Structure 1
Amino acid sequence: MFGGPGVPVVAAVPDATSHSGFGTLNKVDYPTLGLGHPLPSEVKIQVGGLPVAVWGLEEVEGDGKRGVVVLVVARAKEDLSTPYLAQGILGQVALKGSKAKARNLIIVTLARNGSGPEKPVFGKSAQQLQVPSNATMDRSALKLTLNQYQYRRRQIALDEIEQLIAALPAALPGLIIEEWAATGISLGGFIAWKLIHDNPRVHIGIPIDGLPFESISKRLSSPGSPSITPDLQNVLLPFTDPAQGRKAYSGKKILGLFGKESTFAPFTHAEGDIRQIETWTENQDQGKEGEKGGILAWDVQENVGHTCTVQMVKQAAEWVWRYGMVDPTADEGAAAAEGVGSTGSTGEKKKRGSFLKKVFSR
């Protein structure tokens, strides 16, 4: 099932070349995510004290060296998927040619997300929030402790990514970063949602198997859940305010990708919130010149668990190309030749619908 403006509801079937979509529903078949494309250039640098890998930098071309940076957020300290995601997305985009291309694509990965220095959370250290193997706690207290610990991991990862966004332009002086995008799997998908919400510079997002914070906040504050500490309540508050939601998501371009069989990030748990976010993205407050508001589309893939498939990588590349690399005011003939329709015209919804069908037909 997929959704968004102008798109019929049909099932999306994972590529047969991916083992992730069948049998072992939650297995990530890492090498296939590279889609068989040549390995892109990789440059390892330190940005604000963080070890960063920059993919595709040596392939940058053009006089102004205008670029879109895609942040691939790792879901763990050692995430084997990030190099293959970079390879697959860069390779797919390279097939597009250059007629409608307005920006270069750079992919940045930060492999140690969430593994930085220990930071107090809710007045407790991370060690205090961890549950010893011989712990004897009632179920409610245990759930609360685990919720707090998981939040700590996410918050440290977010802090590192925000630090990277602030420092990267100075670390890449030859590149004019005009657009920021975020993607990631699982925890990385959650962080991608949060970056889209929190950071006004991140206009494009492709969260994979991650729920928006609106859904997580409702689950934590629902009847029967453990009590919420005042500090955690303050964190959740912005995600319960419709006015803040409209402002945060206005003009953003979001593609949510989900496995229908995922029990870790079930789409059914978040569908209502995602449909609400869809209306907020269409608000024109942050819409750029030549465009009319934002867009949120989603794809729930049959027979897929908590994983990333070949099809998802292709969809992510199509989304980055369409909303990050193509000038919305580009010549219509050139854009059509590249498989992209321009925005900001009277036929915008029809063109968007056609584009989304192209994305979800892969």
Structure 2
Amino acid sequence: MKQTIVVAGLDVQVYTTDAFKTSTKPILAVFVLHGRLGSTEVDYVQNVITSVLKAAGEHQGEKDLMIVAFDHRNHGTRLRSEVANQSFEQNANHAIDMYAIQAGTSEDVSFLIDFLESILFPANEREVVEWGVTGISLGGHSTWMVGAADPRVTLVVPIIGCPDYLGLIQPRATALGVAIGPPHFPDSLMKVLKAKALTALPYNSKAPENPFLGKKVLVLSGGSDPLVPWSTSQAFVEGLEVGPHGSKEVKVVEGVGHEVVPPMVDALVAFILAKL
């Protein structure tokens, strides 16, 4: 079942199982974020949503599943500039635009967590007791960001995404002969990136300031991904500490490029069902 709502001008799709309407169970809400140049309607996003919902509908658990999807900034129904979504060859501001889009989408997730329950359940009919985010490619980058930034997000599943923006974008620029400096990488941008970089956080520490402590993390990547190589994420992921109350699973599918393949979807489905 699909319902489209508008939250402060943002079109949001809410997907639930057939049994959801008459159920009173607490809710696990999971955002599904699409990739660059895509939208909520692209096949790989709809396949993920359909696969997870089908499995949830056949699963008898303590919680109901609600899936939430919306278009990234400057994508789909929010598109304002096609050039701004292109890479360095067509867009001199690529390093700025791509980071701003994924950071803005991360903020959109937190914004929706603030207000979705009020709009969907104004008479307190249901309660969302857990929030999760999964995203693909650009959506995977945003997933890492919101997983670190929002303590309400406890399930974090980046798919072919990267937690290290500079580690990802700088080699791309260098390969194209783009200098790591103004105007492609202004000092003002570098200041923001370094201040917000997940690699600057104590992700390999058990200290209380570690934002991933207690969270359940599943990382899905392609072993032969030329666009978002596993090597750009590996050090961060291997050093990531989630503490005794969290969990971390990593699945790198060998021989797979920048794509979402059935083993990744199966792993995501199993991960979510275990939380219901």
Q: 1:183 to 1:65 in 2, by over 3 A?
A: same
Given that 2:96 and 2:189 are in contact with CA atoms closer than 8 Å, whether structure 1 keeps it comes out as no
- State yes or no: 1:226 paired with 2:186: no
Aligned with residue 305 of structure 1, among 243, 257, 266: 257
Which residue in the other structure is 1:319 paired with? 271
3-state DSSP class of the match of 2:50? helix
The one-character-per-residue Cα deviations of 1:106-155 (angstroms, maximum 9, x if unpaired) are 11111354434879xxxxxx97x99796x9xxxxxx5xx32112112223
Match of 2:153?
202
Deviations 1:15-69 (A, max 9, x none): xxxxxxxxxxxxxxxxxxxxxxxxxx11111123211111116521676431000
Deviations 1:219-252 (A, max 9, x none): 5679x76035234323332424344775211111
**RMSD of Structure 2 on Structure 1 (CA):** 2.9
1:106 aligns with 2:58: no
Q: 1-side partners of 2:106 and 2:193: how far apart?
A: 13
Per-residue displacement from partner, 1:189-217 (whole Å, max 9, x unpaired)? Answer: 111111111111110011110011xx223
- Within the candidate set 156, 175, 185, 2:126 is matched to 175
Q: In the aligned structure 2, how far is the partner of 1:268 from the partner of 1:132?
A: 24
Counterpart for residue 68 of structure 1: 28
**In structure 1, what residue type is equivalent to 2:180?**
P
- State the aligned residue count: 251
- Distance of aligned partners of 1:186 and 1:131 in 2 relative to their CA distance in 1, 3 Å threshold: closer
Of all paired residues, the percent bearing the same amino acid is: 20
Q: Is 1:237–2:189 an aligned residue pair?
A: no
Q: State the AA in 2 paired with 1:306.
A: H
**How far apart, in 1, do the equivalents of 2:204 and 2:166 lie?**
13
Q: Deviations over 1:293-349 (max 9, x none)?
A: 212111111221111112211111111122x31xxxxxxxxxxxxxxxxxxxxxxxx
TM-aligned CA distance change 1:316 to 1:130, over 3 Å: closer
For structure 2, list consecutive stretches of 5 or more residues without a partner in the other structure.
Answer: none
Whether the 8 Å contact between 2:74 and 2:80 is mirrored in structure 1 is no
Inter-CA distance 262–243: structure 2 relative to 1 (3 Å threshold) = closer
CA distance 1:242–1:78, change in 2 (3 Å): closer
CA distance in 1, matches of 2:224, 2:170: 25
Instruction: Rate the CA distance shift 1:226–1:254 in 2: closer, same or farther, 3 A.
Output: same
Q: Report matched runs for 1:118-137 at 5 Å.
A: none
CA separation of 1:163 and 1:217: change in aligned 2, threshold 3 A: same
Q: Which residue of 2 aligns with 1:217?
A: 166
Q: Does 1:84 align with 2:64?
A: no
The answer as to whether partners of 1:48 and 1:167 remain within 8 angstroms in 2 is no
Change (3 A) 1:171 1:150: same
- Preserved CA contact (<8 Å) 1:184 1:208: yes
Letter in 2 for 1:313: V
2:247 paired with 1:295: yes
Q: Which has the higher contact order (CA 8 A, sep 6+)?
A: 1
CA contact (8 A) 2:19 2:57 kept: no
SS of alignment partner, residue 86 of structure 1: helix
Is the CA contact (8 Å cut-off) linking 1:70 and 1:106 kept in structure 2? yes
Q: What is the correspondence of 1:230-269 to structure 2 with a 5 Å cutoff?
A: 230-238=188-196, 239-243=198-202, 246=205, 247-269=210-232
The aligned counterpart of 2:15 is: 55
Q: CA–CA distance in 1 between the matches of 2:94 and 2:145?
A: 20
Unaligned runs of 5+ in 1: 1-40, 120-125, 136-141, 283-291, 326-362
Check conservation: 1:182, 1:192, Cα contact below 8 A: yes
Contact 1:92 1:314 in 2 (8 A): no
Letter in 2 for 1:234: V
Structure 2: how far apart are the matches of 1:113 and 1:59?
32
The equivalent position to 1:165 in structure 2, one of 103, 106, 113, is: 113
**Structure 1 residue 92: deviation in Å?**
1.8
Summarize the Cα distance change of 1:264–1:132 in structure 2 as closer, same or farther, 3 Å threshold.
closer
CA distance in 1, matches of 2:169, 2:195: 12
- CA distance change for structure 1 residues 87 and 275 in 2, over 3 Å: closer, same or farther? same
Give the equivalent residue in structure 1 for 2:58: 95
Structure 2 residue matching 1:206: 3-state secondary structure: strand
Moved >6 Å (runs of 4+): 129-132
> Does the Cα contact within 8 Å between 2:194 and 2:200 map onto a contact in 1?
no
Q: 2:101 — aligned with what?
A: 153
One-letter identity of the residue aligned with 2:120: L
